[in-house]
Amino acid sequence: MKKVIIGRVEEKKVLEDAYASIEPHFLAITGRRRVGKTYLVRTYFDSKIDFDFSGILNASYRQQLSNFHLSLMTQFRTPLSDEPPRNWQEAFYTLSLHLKKIRKSKRIVVFIDELPWLDTHRSNFLMGLDWFWNSWATKHNVLLIVCGSATSWMIHNLFNNRGGLHNRITKRVHLSPLNLKETQEYLTHHGINLSHYQILQLYMSMGGIPYYLKEVRVGESAVQAMDRICFQRNGLLAGEFENLYKALFQNWEIHEKIIRTLAQKMRGLTRDELLPIVGLKDGGTFSKILKELEWCDFIASAQPFGKKKKDTRYRLQDEYSIFFLKFIDGKQRVNWKQLSASQSWKSWSGFAFENICIKHAEQIKVALGVGSVYCEVSSFRSKGIADQEGTQIDLLLDRRDHVINVCEAKFYEKPFALTKALAQELRQKMLVFQAQTKTRKSMFPTIITTFGLTPNEHSIGFIQQSINMDDLFRF
């Protein structure tokens, strides 16, 4: 099968600009584990890469140097010398000698994958990289591309470097999971043709991670694929969680504890609510951990409508982590074909669909006809004070044209009919919101469903706008 890059339009534009430039460029690519960083670079540049090298997880300093040495000899087709380089500066010097033989008019592309794994204890790897970039690459027609799943290392050692690599990154790409439309395109490219409803179910369990999606087989339903991939003993996602955070973060136990905590609170928690649970003091360390998790797309932060920065809520948004902790972690072997028909899953799927809708807010705006209108996406939460009732609204579209869409997401197997009780609940939410925020904007109750809204006496004249799951697959 021919390799293609699904989506990644903006990312490819950065790669194109970096390659076409007449200036040397140092391009850093980040993103969570399994999101497709290596695939993007190797597929886009293909034969244009002059040297391609990857660090080895948990390898020693000497093993990394030996691997680098073998890569040099293999890719430049030179006889194997007896001894690998003694240090990283010598290793990069040897690389420069080979690259120097390439004709000057050609753009030189060097790709180093899993860069953080090369920075072993007392290896002085960054010193060698510093020498290569500052003393050689910047004087030649070089595009240096580095990748790393260990986002904390990339942030603190490259982006925030205070030594010789300070401000040396000239271009950055952050790779996020695929959205729903890109997920459908990915599956279709692999010969898998599923309905939007089936793709939504897959997305709820594994999100838009290409490495996970490639496990889906032709002829399988979403339920069959999830049962095999997530619940069978040798299924890829049955044990993926055990290594997911370990591979990305130093002191990963705290990161994982935050994830587990937020999995119990689908509506999210504030910083002050999180701190006592994870057992950390308020300060820079905690801020750094939250930023790392957010940078990797595991959590999202949002300032609720009308609230201050200190009221920012952190919400777990990684579909696989949410699914694993709900249905796999600590559970005995599960028959997903049976569990997926249970009330437990139906209740949980409502929260999962809300999460997907929040992540596809731009698609919702376009479907509502306000794609070109400035709009702030937020939520609203009130615990209630004195004689005022509290409420929770998970998706608000606060529009500059003096309208607020109050969105209610409903995941159903058939067209949705608004009940009297839900209509009253939604009206009450709007009354509380209006009373506590003092907003003067028009409020449009908006329904987002899977198969659309069936008009009835409770929705006609009340629900202003409705869209369905097809609208989430727009772009």
Question: Could you report the per-residue pLDDT of 192-201, keeping only the tens digit for each?
Answer: 999 999 999 9
Residue 464, pLDDT above cutoff 90: yes
Burial grade of 12 (CB within 10 A; 0-12, 13-18, 19 or more): middle
Range scoring the smallest mean pLDDT among 7-11, 134-138, 305-309: 305-309
pTM: 0.95
Residue 69, pLDDT above cutoff 80: yes
Question: Could you report the per-residue pLDDT of 12-65, keeping only the tens digit for each?
Answer: 999 999 999 999 999 999 999 999 999 999 999 999 999 999 999 899 999 999
Question: Could you report the per-residue pLDDT of 409-436, keeping only the tens digit for each?
Answer: 999 999 999 999 999 999 999 999 999 9
Question: Could you report the per-residue pLDDT of 142-180, keeping only the tens digit for each?
Answer: 999 999 988 889 988 999 888 889 899 999 999 999 999
Query: What pLDDT is recorded for position 264?
Result: 94
Q: Which residues does 425 contact at the CB level (< 8 Å), separation at least 6? A: none
Residue 365, pLDDT above cutoff 80: yes
Burial grade of 21 (CB within 10 A; 0-12, 13-18, 19 or more): middle
CA angle 358, 363, 366 (to 5 degrees): 130
- Report CA torsion sign: 411, 412, 413, 416: negative
Partnered with residue 147 across adjacent β-strands are 29
| CA separation for the pair 180, 322 (Å, rounded) | 17
**Whose CA is closest to 432, among 399, 376, 393?**
393
Question: Could you report the per-residue pLDDT of 211-230, keeping only the tens digit for each?
Answer: 999 999 999 999 999 999 99
